[in-house]
Amino acid sequence: MGNALQIENLHKSFKTGFIPKTKYILKGISFTVEEGRIFGYLGPNGAGKTTTIKCILGLIFPDRGTIDILGRSHLSPAARERVGFLPENPYFYDYLTAGEFLSFCADLFVLEKPEKRRRTDSLLKLVGLEKATGVQLRKFSRGMLQRIGLAQALINDPALVILDEPLGGLDPLGRKDIRDIIVRFKDEGKTVFLSSHILQDIEMICDRVAIILDGKIISEGSLQDLISEKILFTEMTVSGVDPASLAEFGESLSVHGGRTLLKVFGQDRVDRVLDLVRSRQGKIDSLIPRTETLEDTFVEMVRRG
């Protein structure tokens, strides 16, 4: 399996102010994205995520460094025609219907009429908009606009799909729907480069991540490499026991309907709570070990900075 995207020693700066001063945005970043993977690109606002994407797409030019897409220079027509892109804040011609919009996008790639119709119908079905073919985009919700944006990013059947904050501004149901669609991209053999600050979603769907801070990659690897499986604490829900008698064993998060939600650190304390509950003829309703999350790792790295 080859690399869909390879970036080596990428630098980018801008001149700002009335008396121009150089602001360095990217400071020698390097990473690779394997074919057929979902790659998460993480970082706080201003870290350089969108600047990286603009360099990959050829919208701006780096000061130095190399970018290869599927083994070719990112500026070569052969590479660019195999890339699909959904920007963070896309603008659509909202007087067009969903079908007309995808047809317009297909025309940009000079698709023949039968193929254009086939792809349009297939993509509307993929993103769950087949019943909205004749609806104007101005009547779409935020989630529906994200769906049609994903569809247009696939109209040229790209090998590499670049998504800039595709989950932003969506409710939990909308985020789940978009996550499922992105996973389907991977199932079809496509590579996904996903920039996002919603770490829970990244953790659910990405095979590998890179964390950028102040223009530098501070960590890159598979989720298994970055996230420790060490148990941080255990959440226990206990009923039939006086909450006051549990106070010495952990932090009480809530007491409701005779149940106490307890946050317990250390296996020895978990065992002592179990012994107490048994001795009082109480009940353990739930016991959930909590391990380190991607958010824990990300926050710690950003703080160390």
| Model pLDDT, residue 7 | 96
| Model pLDDT, residue 151 | 92
| Model pLDDT, residue 261 | 84
115-125 pLDDT, tens digit each: 989 999 999 99
- CATH number for the segment(s) 231-304: 3.30.70
Pairing of strands 21-34, 3-16: antiparallel
Retrieve residue 134's tokens. Answer: 């004749």
| Model pLDDT, residue 36 | 92
DSSP 8-state class, residue 196 = -
Q: Which of 16, 106, 8 is nearest to 56 (CA)?
A: 8
Distance CA 134, CA 13 (A): 44
H or E element at residue 5: strand 3-16
HSE at residue 242, side-chain half, CA atoms within 13 A, is 5
Distance CA 189, CA 192 (A): 10
Q: Which residues of the chain have pLDDT under 70?
A: 1, 225-230, 252-254, 291-305
Domain extent listing, the chain: 3-82+158-225, 231-304
Residue 126 CB partners (closer than 8 Å, separation 6+):
151, 154, 181, 184
- CATH number for the segment(s) 3-82+158-225: 3.40.50.300
Distance CA 265, CA 251 (A): 9
Residue 92 CB partners (closer than 8 Å, separation 6+):
101, 137, 145, 148, 149
**293: amino acid identity, one letter:** T
Largest CA distance in the chain: 76
